[in-house]
Chains A and B, each alone.
Chain A
């Protein structure tokens, strides 16, 4: 596609429910990133994919968080048993090769998750 697409753009869920957030990267981009941003804060690194594998999962806050990427394209971030502190904007980005080889990241518009 023309840009990174995230869905849904907004999600309100009840505490304890599971949610799935989706990211469609730019076609052909091998690197994909997930970040979390609380109101007025910086971007917290969650996970990074190169192709379908995730060399670095160190940012996932707890075992309630998981992510997968299939076909080197679409990625899904799943949060199980949501808590109020999970409320934030979840941002996805992709890059053609990977930031480490001097390429920029392109961001989606994010999913605003509110846990009530």
Chain B
């Protein structure tokens, strides 16, 4: 079974609104990463948060991590039509070297 579960599976919002996506995982991690995928091909790394960090920002992105609840959230503020894509969380599992496990993803649609 997948390590990461994402919620919601799909999200549709208007331009200018904020988008929040959640990720839950099952086992201890070294870090959690968020990726974006356009058109079902290559993924692009957005942000990495380490297990000892609670919040991280990058431009319009804000990521939180709660290791006690084994969950993370990605907030995109002031969304744009160009943010339309699938977003995936990925966990680097503790004590499993470099293994990186992805969730099922959230499909975000931003309407102009």
Chain A interfacial positions (CB closer than 8 Å to B):
4, 31, 33, 35, 37, 39, 41-43, 45, 48, 50, 55-56, 89, 91, 93, 95, 97-110
Contact = CB atoms under 8 A, between A and B. Distances in A.
A104 B96 contact: no
B99 A102 contact: no
A99 B99 contact: yes
Contacts of B97: 48, 50, 55-56, 98, 100
B90 interface: yes
Contacts of B100: 33, 45, 48, 93, 99, 105
B102 A100 contact: no
A88 B32 CA distance: 26
A86 B16 CA distance: 40
B43 A99 contact: no
Contacts, number: 85
B98 A100 contact: yes
B42 interface: yes
A108 B44 CA distance: 10
B99 A106 contact: no
Interface of B: 2, 30-31, 33, 35, 40-45, 48, 50, 88, 90, 92-94, 96-105
Nearest to B103: A42
A107 B43 CA distance: 6
A106 B88 CA distance: 14
Contacts of B96: 56, 100
A55 B99 CA distance: 9
B98 A97 contact: yes
A104 B42 contact: no
Nearest to B4: A42
A37 B41 CA distance: 9
